[in-house]
Amino acid sequence: MKLRKVLLPEGVQDLLIDDCIYRRQIEDKFMENFKQSGYMEVSSPALEYYDLFSRDYLANNGDNTFKLIDTDGKILVLRPDCTVPIVRILSTKMKDFVFPLRLCYVQDVFRIDEEQAGKKREFRQAGVELFGIDSYKADVEVIIIAIESLKHLGLENFQIDIGQTKLLRGILETMGVEEEIKQLIVQNMEDKNLVALNNLIEQLSIEEDIKSTLKQLPKLFGDPEEVLGEINSLPLTPSMKEAVEELEMICKKVEEYGLREYIKLDLGMITTLKYYSGVIFKGFTKDLGKVLLSGGRYDELLRDFDMDIPATGFAFSVNKVTKALKIQRNLEVQDKKHILLLEDENSGATSDVLNALRQKGYIAEVNLLENKKDLKEYIKRRKIDEIIKVDENANINTVGDLEGI
């Protein structure tokens, strides 16, 4: 019991000094990119009604939300996701806004993850949502923002993989098998459990053409040109062709922005999250085996809020991006000159001096220690760059030797 007074629960952490600087630096740069592209910040509360997230397609989150009971017995949750609350805001407070509506945020999300799996249960997300445009150009816009934001942070070796949920959906539509089997195919495709997937497909009584396309799909990822070439050589239905064309247009447009080197295609990228309804994407770097960002089109979610508004967006995992930058050693605390002012009983000019120094961008603090030994220790440990003193005539003198004080 005593330990609980000093230890932290699983999956949460304190950030000390440098880590706070990094976080602010990274989030500021994200926000700068979002806002420069016309996105407006919104913020939703950490507490929401459980019902908001209880829809079956969110069940994924529903079971691992932190729940609280309100005084009137209603169930509350700590926000497990940022997009759903923003859609709630849109449906209740911003319906009459002019579209396209561009919103952005940086917020904590809370999820119950397996304890001791080294996973965070409280983590930061920074993201954008673009409402009201159903053209692929909206998808391109958010993909470009993801790329530009990571470039702005100085992240190297990263790639955005783009997938298309309409493709698998197009294949499944034509198949006369039970819904349960289709779900199993989607699940195994998402997990890239090729062993189970191949076994499952072999047992189905469907055309050989479809079988081979289904088996090929998880392997169709990599350079856009190659992948598009391979998929176009497979027998495609008209709806699948349309889905592929959308990807082609997206790649072409990203190329026009001169960012081709950052994108890859992954036609086997699937998400069991049903609210995604078109192009989806994820970002990685080879230096960290974790997903840095994910997003896509989610028109279906808005339909559930009785809105016929197309939507696309993505979120960065700030913690993962920070980790990747640290691994690449691309994070630095800007070193400011640190000045310590020794106060003089006779001098009244202290505040002017401090203001002048701070305006120059230095860190200026006043000495509060009386004891010379403590002061010396403090100067050494805090790596003070310069010690100054102000005399009666408001002249600033550098103190070279502490012994003389």
Partner 1 sequence: MQKVKIAVTKGRLLKHTIELLERAGIDCRPLKEDNRKLVFLLPDYNIEIILLKAADVPTYVEHGVVDMGIAGKDVLLEQEKQLYEVVDLKFGKCRFAVAGIPSMKDGKKHLVVATKYPNVAKRYFAQKGQSVEIIKQEGSVELAPLMGLSDVIVDIVETGKTLKENGLVVLEEIADISARLILNEVSYKTKKKEITAIIDLIEKAVGS
Query: Would you state the structure tokens that stand for residue 309, as one six-digit string?
Result: 């508004």
Closest CA to 350 of 400, 386, 389: 389
CB of 216 to partner 1, least distance (A): 14
Contact 347/392 with Cβ under 8 angstroms?
Answer: yes
Instruction: Name the residue nearer to partner 1 (CB basis): 118 or 400.
Output: 118
**CB 177, min distance to partner 1, A:** 21
Give how far Cα 182 sits from Cα of 168, 201, 269, 372, 388, Å.
Answer: 10, 10, 16, 76, 74
289 lines the binding site for partner 1 (CB under 8 A): yes
Q: Which of residues 95-134 bind partner 1 (CB under 8 A)?
A: 117-118
Sites for partner 1 among residues 251-270 (CB under 8 A): 264, 266
CA 249 to chain centre: 25
For helices 238-256 and 224-232, the axis angle rounded to 10 degrees is 160
CB nearer to partner 1: pick between 191 and 352: 191
Three-class secondary structure of residue 94 per DSSP: coil
> At residue 278, what are phi and psi to the nearest 5 degrees?
-170, -125
Binds partner 1 by CB under 8 A, chosen from 252, 290, 337, 382: 290
> How far is it, in rounded angstroms, from Cα 60 to Cα 207?
33
- Considering only the stretches 91-99, 143-151, 283-291, 296-304, report the one whose residues sit in contact with partner 1 under the rule CB under 8 A: 283-291
Distance CA 242, CA 239 (A): 5
- For partner 1, the binding residue among 53, 284, 314, 316 (CB under 8 A) is 284
Q: Within 214-233, which residues bind partner 1 (CB under 8 A)? A: 221-222
Number of residues in contact with partner 1 under rule CB under 8 A: 22
Q: Which of 286, 337, 360, 376 binds partner 1 (CB under 8 A)?
A: 286
Residues 23-82 that bind partner 1 (CB under 8 A): none
Figure out which of the listed residues 87, 251, 288, 309 binds partner 1, where binding follows CB under 8 A. Answer: 288
* CB nearer to partner 1: pick between 101 and 250: 250
With a CB cutoff of 8 Å and minimum separation 6, the contacts of 314 are 127, 128, 142, 143, 146, 281, 293, 294, 295, 296
Coil, strand or helix at 333: coil
Using CB under 8 A, which residues numbered 187 to 206 contact partner 1? Answer: 191-196
Stretch that binds partner 1, among 58-66, 68-76, 284-292, 391-399 (CB under 8 A): 284-292
Return d(Cα 323, Cα 142) in angstroms, integer: 23
Using the rule CB under 8 A, which residue among 65, 107, 159, 322 binds partner 1?
Answer: 159
Rounded to whole angstroms, the maximal C-alpha distance in the chain is 96
Shortest reach from residue 26's CB to partner 1, in Å: 20
Query: Which of 47, 69, 291, 405 forms a contact with partner 1 (CB under 8 A)?
Result: 291
**Secondary structure class of 166 (helix, strand, coil):** helix
Q: Which stretch binds partner 1 (CB under 8 A): 7-15, 24-32, 153-161, 299-307?
A: 153-161
By the criterion CB under 8 A, which residues form the site for partner 1? Answer: 117-118, 157, 159, 161, 191-196, 221-222, 264, 266, 284-286, 288-291
